[in-house]
Amino acid sequence: MTTASSPQSFDVVIVGAGFAGMYMQHRIQQRGLSVRLYEAGSGVGGTWYWNRYPGARVDVESVEYSYTFDAELEQEWSWSERYAAQPELMRYANHVADRFNLRPNMQFNTKVTSAVWEEASRRWQIKTSQGETVSAKYCVLATGFLSSGSIPDFDGLNDYQGNKYLTSRWPENGVDFTGQRVAVIGTGSSAVQAIPIIAQQVSQLYVFQRTPSYSIPLRNCPLDREYEKRVKAMYPEWRRRQREESRAGFIALNYEPAYSNEQSAFAVSAEERLKDYETRWESGGLCYYSSFNDLLTNQEANETLASFVREKTRQRVKDPAVAELLTSQDYPILTKRLCADTNYYETYNRDNVKLVSIKGSRIEKLTPKGLVVHGEEYEVDSIIFATGFDAVTGAVSNIEVRGVNGENLQDHWEGAPRAYLGLMSNGFPNLFFLDGPCANGALVSPMLLSEYQVEWVDRCLGFLGTAPEVTIDAKLDAENAWMTHMDEVGKHTLMHMANSWYMGANIPGKPRALLSYLGGLAAYREQCRAGEANGYQQFAVSR
């Protein structure tokens, strides 16, 4: 299938060269359509391109956190560690870009600034930071759900004269903190990974904690070659189980007995429950997401796990007062993203590390020399902002997107993002989201989710065919029904009990709303399948 394209006119424009955007581009190229992918960074890799802070690594097993669409790729690539670190993930992304000849249709160092639907031509007019305007029949926003890094608007932010670093915009050549006094603000996943490494370099580390995370040991190690062989021998079956049988998209082959525990925490004796928790503790990684099936819906069940993890944490920290601060979580476990660490809590046993709790308080201001908390000034040479992201909607809202009748996407999303199946918003024809709002990016392996969405979009383009003026738009009814379903599923969970990025609650002023679908991967796939199996009846198709 081909359509005529001038250099400034494409069948498809994709925004973002993360794993979702790259695979989308591959499928479009295979389809024989013209495509241009724009990427703000100077290379591929998306979240792994930007998040180069010390200690950044994946917390889903590498053999699962990898593309599933190409059997040869699966067999030829060999991971060095159970959980790959950022540099290796970048090598993988670059390998994929070369292997599938993606670079000729990519343009780096270019942000898309606006995408405006032009009714007369039935095409998107897309402007970039390089001053270009291009036109595209379809636009795919593969901008990622954790890509818009956020530094809070602290008083005196610009007064501080030392070095400032944001974990999600880390300098390409790294930073040497040897001998420095350093402050880390934040104790989410990024901080939990960075703190143990940075603590080894600095003369003094201050960690400013507002809300303690729950963190469990990652148990990273070199990848066992026998394990790799087993995985590679059964990849097709394993991938099927990841997609169809797992709750969150991961299985962990080494895990015995069944990884996904489909019982209530109270369907078993206290001893059996403890055994499940202990086995998972020893296994490492994010396996509690697959433990008892009511941990996210029943507060009492949740507390059995939360108290188990708190007790384990206390055992890792020598000073009981520090342990108390680190375990004073006042929200259910798993309702903020679980962290998986290597020596995070043990780092607080070092003489050069001090935990400063700002719970119920705040960082009063930044000064030229440091920052002030509880009236005390902490003088530091560098401040690291591990303060998270304007998640899910942030990257899209940085682009001016206007649909039918010039409607601004942000107005359509007033209060909360809306997208049928997390794929399309009503009034924005031929515009697709990957790993975006209202899909289940929050609690599902992002690799599997985005692959599934890419293949859905690709099949949809096949269905639409080559007519130049064909359009597809999610019907408002379908979008409303999806939002109702998403809320129904969400309200039976404990998610609303935490101020997490899942709820948009980490960004001051952002409307509090569930941003992701919590129905699990299999349920999401089923809903999407139904959406296309009936001939796209939930969509308005115009030819």
If phi > 0 it is left, if psi is from -120 to 50 it is alpha, else beta; for residue 406 that is left
Using CB under 6 A, pick the residue from 49, 100, 250, 501 that binds ligand N01. Answer: 501
Least gap, CB of 59 to ligand N01 (angstroms): 4
Interaction with ligand N01 in 222-281: which residues (CB under 6 A)? Answer: none
Strand order in the sheet with 376-379: 363-366, 370-373, 376-379
- Chain residue whose CB lies nearest ligand N01: 188
Least gap, CB of 524 to ligand N01 (angstroms): 18
Side-chain-side CA neighbours of residue 313 (13 Å): 26
Question: Which residues face 514 on adjacent strands?
Answer: none
Least gap, CB of 397 to ligand N01 (angstroms): 17
Least gap, CB of 374 to ligand N01 (angstroms): 13
506 touches ligand N01 by CB under 6 A:
yes
Q: Which is nearer to ligand N01, 25 or 387 (CB)?
A: 387
Q: What is the DSSP secondary-structure string of 521-537?
A: HHHHHHHHHHHHHTSST
Q: Which is nearer to ligand N01, 43 or 186 (CB)?
A: 186
Q: Are 126 and 13 in contact (CB under 8 A)?
A: yes
Using CB under 6 A, pick the residue from 152, 367, 379, 485 that binds ligand N01. Answer: 152
Instruction: Reduce the secondary structure of 80-94 to three states and give it as a string.
Output: CECCCEHHHHHHHHH
Q: Which is nearer to ligand N01, 273 or 336 (CB)?
A: 336
429 cis-preceded (ω within 30 degrees of 0): no
Binding piece for ligand N01, criterion CB under 6 A, among 124-132, 174-182, 467-475, 498-506: 498-506
Number of residues binding to ligand N01, judged by CB under 6 A:
25
Tokens 């590679």 identify what position? Answer: 232
Q: Which is nearer to ligand N01, 242 or 538 (CB)?
A: 242
Interaction with ligand N01 in 172-211: which residues (CB under 6 A)? Answer: 185-191, 193, 210-211
Using CB under 6 A, pick the residue from 35, 58, 460, 486 that binds ligand N01. Answer: 58
Tokens of 53: 């802070």
| Residue (of 202, 195, 147, 138) closest to 169 by Cα position | 147
Least gap, CB of 309 to ligand N01 (angstroms): 16
* Cα 436 to Cα 295: distance, rounded to the nearest angstrom: 25
Residue 113: its H or E element? strand 112-118
Least gap, CB of 452 to ligand N01 (angstroms): 19
Q: Which is nearer to ligand N01, 13 or 373 (CB)?
A: 373
Q: What is the DSSP secondary-structure string of 320-331?
A: HHHHHHHT---S
Binding piece for ligand N01, criterion CB under 6 A, among 453-461, 477-485, 499-507, 520-528: 499-507
Using CB under 6 A, pick the residue from 79, 100, 389, 433 that binds ligand N01. Answer: 389
313 touches ligand N01 by CB under 6 A:
no
Q: Which is nearer to ligand N01, 338 or 483 (CB)?
A: 338
Using CB under 6 A, pick the residue from 102, 363, 371, 416 that binds ligand N01. Answer: 363
* Cα 283 to Cα 281: distance, rounded to the nearest angstrom: 5
443 touches ligand N01 by CB under 6 A:
no
Least gap, CB of 449 to ligand N01 (angstroms): 13
Eight-state DSSP code of residue 384? E
Least gap, CB of 60 to ligand N01 (angstroms): 7
Tokens 């029949």 identify what position? Answer: 137
Q: Are 383 and 162 in contact (CB under 8 A)?
A: yes
Least gap, CB of 51 to ligand N01 (angstroms): 6
* Cα 99 to Cα 83: distance, rounded to the nearest angstrom: 23
Q: Which is nearer to ligand N01, 54 or 186 (CB)?
A: 186
Tokens 């798993």 identify what position? Answer: 334
For 54-111, list the strands marked E by DSSP. 106-107
Neighbours of 205 (CB within 10 A): 25
Tokens 């050549």 identify what position? Answer: 173
Binding piece for ligand N01, criterion CB under 6 A, among 85-93, 383-391, 473-481, 535-543: 383-391
* Residues making contact with ligand N01 (CB under 6 A): 58-59, 146, 152, 167, 185-191, 193, 210-211, 337, 358, 363, 386-389, 499, 501, 506
